Structure 1
């Protein structure tokens, strides 16, 4: 038998990364190679290895990015409309709260004392030049009579100013106007009841705003409610948390009074004991007369504190006729940047109000949606599908009546709108800046002739809330902090409403990748991609400059229309400096595609970051920006061959360009909510001013994310393909 020919050739049979794997062979080359190939995997025998399944799915989605994008966006809008159907009933997560487990102790005698107290306030006539002192003195006197600790908190009116570095922090309380006289100062009265079973480390706050310059009947009623509850808690033995009653002087604004007190309460300073010394000290503010002469150990001239705040309850009475048979309790919960209190706090108020005192609890709605025909049609369709599914399987109970769906959608839209603004909806807002859960309870009632009964019912409601929070051994943490309300007893959690946002923004990375890979060899053989990235970065820097311009414009003190014109002119001048970077060099088809890819990527990053800060703003921004980002293409595009298709594409792009422009979007939204007859161009400046005064992150989103994206899309429309 003939032996195999020896050789010293080198045989390479595969690659490891980019390096070939070789071997030297000599005897039996052909037999050894056949034996090796029979034992090696298929990919090592010369066949190209297949990518992993997730990579294959990604390549498929990128290859068919346009139909996938349309499907995802439509699914996101539909999921948003389905949220009232997917809402769940609220429930108390923390068992220690036990709302309604105890019989109310507030009696008619307490309500009668509260009625006498409010009558004394209403009948008080000012005889001095400082009318607010008398009311504050009366409140402090009655607090000390009950055995509580009373002290005054003086704060000066503040001037709102725009401070860009305060965004994402607590809203700026403004700067103190040192030229104001003592008579213009606000005076809060604070009463404290020390818990007999507590250690002084926790407290519950009641807030009752009132205008010391001209107190109204409804404000006196809220003071009477708080006094009735305060008189009860001053003698009970079940308290384990201190009770603080803050009678906030709201002549400079309800929010300013509460925020000033909270700022001093949470900031330790060596000047606490001398905070009222000088020309505006307590001796000057409170002249000696029979109603304000207290013992030194009862009324403090310094700043007194209790424990860490566990919860805050703002009590307000609205002078409104009720549309229901029972009294109506409106709940306001939104704080700065869309922050919400723990849902358990709303749950116990809703439970005690409905099942304990028979109130009709309500959440504000967008009234224009209640008469919307398309919303009624969609509700009827969903009700029909729900009934049909239940007939097929009785366990499939996801149907909802038409009226419930329409009201839930109107409430959900209002909740989404209030959170997107990032502005507090009441004096409870400052509490959330210090991580304290608080809400505002506004009671509307036909209380004429039944004030004592009204004080009794509302006082027992507040007592029940205090008793529930008093049972807590730790801060609110069991329930949700991220949610949307569709009614006082139904909510949508973060795990449900994030699905719609994910579907809305999912097309952005797909289209960006598809545009980048569609350019071909240009992305590797030239620096066109770097030019596109530079253009996008330059425009976003321009957005930062636009966001800072109001800081200088607001110093002029001009009218809103004049300030808006100055802002527009300065922004336009800044735009000319970046015109070349946005589109001057992007003349070829591949280059505008790279510019669009970079624009979409930056928009996707901005929306995702904003969803962490304020989800509602990101959700509304995705509804507006995603269609424009996907459809943006040169108006004189060569991709559309037919004249009809070119006209349709041009009409769509022009329409979206007008709708997405921030002033136009705001005016259309305001017109849909309040009526177009009350809308003016200067309203946009007022809205922007309110955003930066409240340090709302929505202002930065509009200037740094929304406006640059709109400008880049406009630049793409004006290019030639």
Structure 2
């Protein structure tokens, strides 16, 4: 190693002298490349990688049959006579009258926190067996059951359309895959049904029950979220749990068939811009991409399709935007909602042509519009340019440690690993806090605290305790050891962000933009006094601070009438609710946001603030 430094000492010295300039150049290059990727002329048009889908050759024959109007009227009548009740028996009888095999699925959900309330729920599903294949593969049409507009609006039109599609498909002989029709009154019902279907038990708080009948492996699913009978646009939702995305070909099929049926397909409220104005189109691309990245970075599913994606089922949600919706665009023409049925028919006939599972096209992409995409090979370039300054700075610190004339054993990177290990142990202890609070619930219940407050204040207190832990300050007087710790911290941060980018590029990019400059500046400050003065800024990259600032920024943006004190207080309460929601998603759906923030981001923050 010493010979290597001696032979390249001039080059390495040049690098150490200009490391900050090189890093700044990388950041500027990343900004330029980012604006280039979302500009007209540089984004790629979408296409079909799997030619077997053949959406252009699919004949759509579904029309507004008398049964569609009849079943929707009868469904509305029965929901009025039984308000707030999931009419599972009526749905089973209706599927049976069509000629399908229909069943009820029972499940039990025990809320994991506080009151431990138990919910007994039901789902209804029917299986249309393919006449041309022996139950080897299946497709799913799903819809939630909501009979009131209290939450996301009524879904009765979508359920009526599903029943009409079931009757329509039952008379066709071209199906080579079974079609499963699934309806549940609660979101957790879809999770329970899929657990039972695959005979897995992914959540300790959910008793999935048993399915009376099954079909073959599920290839794809389309979730219907239709609350109006006059549709102005068809919103296609794709972001799933932890930022997972479906195969791009499935999205392209829905866009193509919606366009052919003269219904405007939209993505995050925007259709493909047909304009000759370069700047207007580029602005539209940038806003749509930013909207998708914000949605993906939240790690929460935008619809029920996200539950299917957990099981490697390619799924999307088709959300009908009606006349009375606040998202309606005035320049979009209204079409009868049975047109959505023609789109669904086309999608399923295209999927029926597949000879194998989705294995082409992209699973990692960003969408500037419904007709353009940015592949992983492109968007990783600006991300890499933003992350690489961390590695440059780590290399710079390491080279200075070895180029200096005096060497100290404490300057070895191996000497910094115990502290790195200690920080990650602290992170896993923080990740285990919910389990400890559940086990010793009497501690906070005796002080009349709910679980939401207990976990929130426990995280704050534990963070402060770990900061002032005297074990962290041992051997702090050694400059060489401090540099070794900084080097390992930067490498650790770069590795974590790089690994995250392979799963959720939006969250990884957001964290990189926020954490990279602060971490870089912290290790660049020449003395301890400046580091102490700069330390309050480091608190901004604590996982709790990051989420709170996002909520506060959203509140300031959308509620301009409130004063700043009201914003702070309201955001504080919303922050506690957000944390509880993330824990619920972790326990129920396997959302790893809390685990990632506590087990990985928190140790990095602890090392930076050291």
User: Which band: TM-score by shorter chain?
Assistant: 0.7 to 0.9
> Whole-Å Cα distance in 2 between the matches of residues 619 and 360 of structure 1?
28
Shift of 1:302: 5.8
Number of the residue aligned with 2:545: 664
Shift of 1:510: 1.8
Number of the residue aligned with 1:354: 259
Number of the residue aligned with 2:461: 569
Number of the residue aligned with 2:191: 259
Shift of 1:304: 0.9
Which of these residues, 44, 47, 52, is aligned with residue 91 of structure 1?
47
| Structure 1 gap ranges (5+) | 1-16, 19-47, 163-174, 270-274, 278-300, 366-398, 639-645, 716-721
Matched, 1:537 2:400: no
Matched, 1:626 2:516: yes
Evaluate the alpha carbon distance shift between residue 58 and residue 519 of structure 1 in structure 2; reply closer, same or farther with a 3 A threshold.
closer
Shift of 1:518: 1.1
2:236·2:317 contact (CA, 8 Å) conserved in 1?
yes
> Whole-Å Cα distance in 1 between the matches of residues 81 and 154 of structure 2?
23
Shift of 1:636: 7.4
The one-character-per-residue Cα deviations of 1:333-358 (angstroms, maximum 9, x if unpaired) are 11222111000110010111122232
Number of the residue aligned with 1:498: 380
Which of these residues, 202, 219, 222, is aligned with residue 313 of structure 1?
222
Which of these residues, 412, 418, 422, is aligned with residue 299 of structure 2?
422
Evaluate the alpha carbon distance shift between residue 227 and residue 523 of structure 1 in structure 2; reply closer, same or farther with a 3 A threshold.
farther
2:571 aligned counterpart, secondary structure: coil
Which of these residues, 249, 255, 267, is aligned with residue 344 of structure 1?
249
1:354·1:361 contact (CA, 8 Å) conserved in 2?
no
Shift of 1:563: 3.4
Shift of 1:567: 2.4
2:452·2:580 contact (CA, 8 Å) conserved in 1?
no
Number of the residue aligned with 2:273: none
Moved more, 701-710 or 616-625: 701-710
Residue correspondences, number = 563
Shift of 1:237: 1.2
Rg comparison, structure with higher value: 1
The one-character-per-residue Cα deviations of 1:305-328 (angstroms, maximum 9, x if unpaired) are 1121111000011469x9xxx711
> Whole-Å Cα distance in 2 between the matches of residues 238 and 565 of structure 1?
60
Evaluate the alpha carbon distance shift between residue 476 and residue 691 of structure 1 in structure 2; reply closer, same or farther with a 3 A threshold.
same
Which of these residues, 91, 99, 112, is aligned with residue 139 of structure 1?
91
The one-character-per-residue Cα deviations of 1:338-395 (angstroms, maximum 9, x if unpaired) are 1110001100101111222322423258xxxxxxxxxxxxxxxxxxxxxxxxxxxxxx
2:147·2:156 contact (CA, 8 Å) conserved in 1?
no
TM-score (norm 1): 0.71
Matched, 1:223 2:155: no
Evaluate the alpha carbon distance shift between residue 91 and residue 237 of structure 1 in structure 2; reply closer, same or farther with a 3 A threshold.
same
The one-character-per-residue Cα deviations of 1:450-502 (angstroms, maximum 9, x if unpaired) are xx962421111111111111111111122100011222222111000111111
1:402 aligned counterpart, secondary structure: helix
2:104 aligned counterpart, secondary structure: strand
1:100·1:464 contact (CA, 8 Å) conserved in 2?
no
1:224·1:455 contact (CA, 8 Å) conserved in 2?
no
| Structure 2 gap ranges (5+) | 202-206, 271-275, 326-333, 442-448
Number of the residue aligned with 2:168: 232
> Whole-Å Cα distance in 2 between the matches of residues 244 and 576 of structure 1?
57
The one-character-per-residue Cα deviations of 1:569-598 (angstroms, maximum 9, x if unpaired) are 233234433x442x4422254443222212
Note the aligned Cα RMSD (angstroms): 3.6
Matched, 1:101 2:101: no
The one-character-per-residue Cα deviations of 1:541-581 (angstroms, maximum 9, x if unpaired) are 2122122213323564715345322321233234433x442
1:561·1:681 contact (CA, 8 Å) conserved in 2?
no
Evaluate the alpha carbon distance shift between residue 239 and residue 622 of structure 1 in structure 2; reply closer, same or farther with a 3 A threshold.
same
Dislocated runs of 4+, deviation >6 Å: 48-51, 55-59, 125-128, 212-217
> Whole-Å Cα distance in 2 between the matches of residues 700 and 159 of structure 1?
19
2:38 aligned counterpart, secondary structure: helix
Shift of 1:161: 6.3
> Whole-Å Cα distance in 1 between the matches of residues 357 and 539 of structure 2?
47
Which of these residues, 262, 268, 275, is aligned with residue 363 of structure 1?
268
Matched, 1:705 2:597: no
> Whole-Å Cα distance in 2 between the matches of residues 553 and 302 of structure 1?
35
Superposed counterparts of 1:137-536, under 5 Å: 137-160=89-112, 180=118, 185-211=120-146, 218-250=154-186, 254=187, 256-267=188-199, 303-318=212-227, 327-363=232-268, 401-446=278-323, 454-520=336-402, 524-529=407-412, 530-536=414-420
Number of the residue aligned with 1:67: 21
TM-score (norm 2): 0.83
> Whole-Å Cα distance in 2 between the matches of residues 422 and 342 of structure 1?
18
Evaluate the alpha carbon distance shift between residue 691 and residue 79 of structure 1 in structure 2; reply closer, same or farther with a 3 A threshold.
farther
1:511 aligned counterpart, secondary structure: helix
